[in-house]
Structure 1
Amino acid sequence: MATPEAFDAIKEALDFSWSETEITYENDGFEPPDTQEPFVYVEVVGDVIEQDTFGDPGANEWVEEGAVYLHVMVPNGTGSRDARGIAKRLTDLFREIPIGTMHFERMSIGSGDPGRNFPNFWAMTASIGWYRRDITGT
């Protein structure tokens, strides 16, 4: 999983900028709406945390890399067009806009996955690769 700093930065950006659909995060107790309205399930994962040393002991830069998975959930049987549009608008929120020490790159809608069925919903996943640099070593 990603560090709390990475998760918090992404959550704050989405909470501030996104109002089109409900958003839920990993293990937050969200119940899918009875009305079959689209919503977004967000996962923030970390791939690696690496150290770069700059000479003096303690003068280190830590680089954390990961991905945000934005699972756009739409009612089963309604096609993929709405999910693709929502996914595009979500990725646009992070395009060329760093958040603090986080930078976003490698965006994809679908990433080769055809979408998946869940009870009453179908998911189209947008993914965004990110990295974060931290001179303080956390």
Structure 2
Amino acid sequence: MANFADATPVVFQNEDPPSSPWPPATPVPWTYFEVLEVQSRERGIGKAGAKTWLTLGNIFAHVFVPKGYGLEDHNAIAVPIGEIFRAKTFYSTDPGAKIVCGAPSIRGGDSGSDDGNYFGLVVGVPFEFYFIG
């Protein structure tokens, strides 16, 4: 995330925003990340504590820019976020755990911010989380 985090403030679920007031008083681009689980199921058979589990979900990066920012400039922020995750596999330090990401997609815009000053695009990336439990 370092390739865009210096350019846009980033907010994560259930964490304090990086500045006050939030969103910034002068509209600037910013990104809100969330990870949502869709389902979890047993994937393999084994002894207790040695079964393979699969959790499916989505990583969403909501990229907000000031109204009038322009779609090309908006995509210049959103597209690199998706590329961070495209077809990547992330391993946990714990043996037997990994996250496999799919292809990102950028979904339609929304101007539903509380103050009406922002326009948002959503970068969605499906993931599979495998772990032994």
| Fold match by TM threshold 0.5 | yes
1:63 paired residue among 45, 54, 59: 54
Q: Is this contact kept in 1: 2:44–2:52, CA < 8 A?
A: yes
Q: Which residue of 1 aligns with 2:95?
A: none
Q: CA shift at 1:123, angstroms?
A: 0.2
Q: CA shift at 1:81, angstroms?
A: 1.8
Tell me whether 1:79 sits opposite 2:76 in the alignment: no
RMSD: 2.0
**Mapping 1:108-127, distance limit 5 Å:** 108-110=105-107, 113=108, 115-117=109-111, 118=113, 119=115, 120-127=117-124
Which has more radius of gyration? 2
**Mapping 1:72-111, distance limit 5 Å:** 72-100=63-91, 101-110=98-107
Q: Percent of pairs identical after alignment? A: 26
Change (3 A) 1:74 1:17: closer
Q: Which residue of 1 aligns with 2:34?
A: 43
Distance 1:17 1:60 in 2: 38
TM-score w.r.t. length of structure 2:
0.80
Aligned length: 120
Structure 1: any 5+ residue segments left out of the alignment?
A: 1-13
Structure 2: any 5+ residue segments left out of the alignment?
A: 92-97
